[in-house]
Copies of this chain bind each other. A is one copy, B any other.
Amino acid sequence: MMMEDRIGAFVAHGRIDMLLSDTGPLAGMTFAVKDFFDVAGLPTGAGSPDWLASHAVPQASASVVDRLLNAGARLVGKTSTDELAWSLNGENYHYGTPINPAAPKRIPGGSSSGSVVAVAGELVDFAVGSDTGGSVRLPASYCGVFGMRPTHARIPITGAVPLAPSYDTVGWFARSGDLLEQVGRVLIPEWREPATPPRFLIADDIFEAAGSAVKAALAGALESFGPAEHVVVADGGLTAWRDAFRIIQASEVWQAHSGWVAEAQPGFGPGIRERFADAARLDSATIAEALRVRQGIRERLDALLGKDGILLLPSAPGAAPLRGTPAQELEAFRAKALELLCGAGHAGLPQVSMPLGAIDGCPIGLSAMAPRGHDERLLQLVGTVTRLHG
């Protein structure tokens, strides 16, 4: 049934074949799900050996898994993830780094690393990940596939390990925009075609932050969307957006997991260890100020987008970094990526990354962001993009 996994997409305990219906809109399609979501009868590992060891095997599957099975899709694997999903790189200290099929010398991106490479490497038709600060959009950009982050809380994330609940969303990857849309129609049963044409906006300041190579790589794709208004999104700069994101995220991770950390004393890999230590030291005034910043971002993006706006922005500050990039350099790149990506998280807005550019022969994504609850616009758009760009 499943092809051999030479790229490290799947977790060891995830060799499965689960089919509940052979009719439905996704009949004949195979999919994989990030090992952050429960699948009945299989352990959930969340990228942490200590998590795996300290949690009972779930008896029920996550809602998203059941919805896809009910639609006729076949589940063939659970996929690798960064430890507790708290990274954007796709490098797991305990389990290693899946291979980026589009650029094998480069990291795949994460935290939905196994899901993105399973799609890019054609092991499955589509795959489910989760996106808190960019964990679907960034790996989609690095690996040259489509990746969707829906409106926050529109698709229930029941049965998944929490990271930062006010940001966490279900997300999914596919090689074609058509299939990305098809999966969306299953996950959004209240699907409604947009009644009006979109109004395109280009995020000048976010392109500026991404740098000239990214701008040049995506210029052709941008033009293909036709007339667009140029706007400055973050008046006060993007670093304030990123800082607020890190603070609120850390405070929510701490709330979700500090009890378990105290009890299980997990042996964290580098990076996540430090992030937990920092989270423990956050004070409430800092968190309150970050929440105030987030409110401003929500209001700004809502005002910009109105009911019909689609904001075009880069998905990443460059092609995927090389494997073995020194930690400090990699961290600086991740921080820059977070600046570009955290807006949708702060405002709960849907954003899709489309594989429409290349830098040095490696993929880079163009993103589109829509108003809250208007996921249909983005998924309709990627269907069109696929038909235009092949």
Stretch at the interface among A47-55, A183-191, A221-229: A183-191
Pick from B67, B154, B190, B191: contact of A190, CB below 8 A: B67
Q: Does A307 contact B (CB under 8 A)?
A: yes
**What residues on B are CB-neighbors of A65 within 8 Å?**
190
Q: Does A63 contact B (CB under 8 A)?
A: yes
A277: Cβ under 8 A from any B Cβ = no
Q: Which of B66, B153, B186, B192 contacts A191 (CB 8 A)?
A: B66
Q: Decide if A190 touches B153 in the complex (CB within 8 Å).
A: no
The interface bits of chain A over 45-76 (1 if a CB of B lies within 8 angstroms of the residue's CB, else 0) are: 00000000000000111011111001100000
Digitize A144-159: 1 where CB-to-B-CB distance is under 8 Å, 0 elsewhere. Answer: 0000000001101010
Determine if B153 and A60 form an interchain contact, defined as CB atoms under 8 angstroms apart: no
Q: In this complex, which of A59, A156, A189, A373 has the most chain B Cβ atoms within 10 angstroms of its Cβ?
A: A189
A70 to B191 alpha-carbon distance, docked (Å): 8
Write the A297-340 contact mask toward B (1 if CB under 8 angstroms, else 0).
00000000001000000000000000000000000000000000
Cβ–Cβ contact B153 & A192, under 8 A? no
In the complex, chain B residues whose CB is within 8 Å of the CB of A66: 190-192
Identify A154's interface contact among B64, B156, B186, B191, CB under 8 A: B156
Q: Do A70 and B156 form a contact, CB below 8 Å, given A59-B307, A307-B59?
A: no
Q: Which residue of chain B has its CB nearest to the CB of A373?
A: B158
Closest B residue, CB atoms, query A65: B190
Interface residue ranges of A126-183 to B (CB < 8 Å): 153-154, 156, 158
Partner of A63, one of B67, B186, B190: B190
Counting every copy of the chain, the complex holds 2
Contacts of A67 in B (CB 8 A): 189-190
Query: In the complex the two chains form, what is the Cα distance from A55 to B191 in whole Å?
Result: 25
Is A60 touching B158 in the complex (CB atoms < 8 A)? Answer: no
Taking CB atoms, residues of chain B closer than 8 Å to A64 are 190
**Could you say which residues of chain B place their CB within 8 Å of the CB of A158?**
154, 373
Which residues of B lie under 8 Å from residue A191 when comparing CB positions? 66, 70
Q: Which residues of B contact A195 (CB under 8 A)?
A: 59
Interface residues of A in 81-101 (CB under 8 A from B): none
In the complex, what residues of B have CB within 8 A of residue A156's CB? 153-154, 156, 190
Closest B residue, CB atoms, query A151 = B158
Q: Mark A24-43, 1 if CB is under 8 A from B, else 0.
A: 00000000000000000000
Is B189 within 8 A of A70, CB to CB?
Answer: yes
Closest to A64 in B: B190
How many whole Å from A298's CB to the nearest CB in chain B? Answer: 17
* Inter-chain contact A60/B189, CB cutoff 8 Å: no
| Cα–Cα, bound, A195→B70 (Å) | 16
Find the B residue at minimum CB distance from A59. Answer: B307
Q: CA A347 – CA B185 in complex, angstroms?
A: 31
Tell whether, in the assembled complex, residue B70 and residue A190 are in contact, meaning their CB atoms are under 8 Å apart. yes
| Chain B: minimal CB distance from A211 (Å) | 38
- Interface, chain A (partner B; CB < 8 A): 59-61, 63-67, 70-71, 153-154, 156, 158, 186, 189-192, 195, 307, 373
Instruction: List the 7 closest A-B pairs by CB distance, nearest first.
Output: A66-B190, A63-B190, A67-B190, A67-B189, A189-B189, A66-B192, A70-B191
Could you list 25 A-B pairs, sorted by A, with CB under 8 Å?
A59-B195, A59-B307, A60-B192, A60-B373, A61-B192, A63-B190, A64-B190, A65-B190, A66-B190, A66-B191, A66-B192, A67-B189, A67-B190, A70-B189, A70-B190, A70-B191, A71-B189, A153-B156, A154-B156, A154-B158, A156-B156, A156-B190, A158-B373, A186-B189, A189-B189
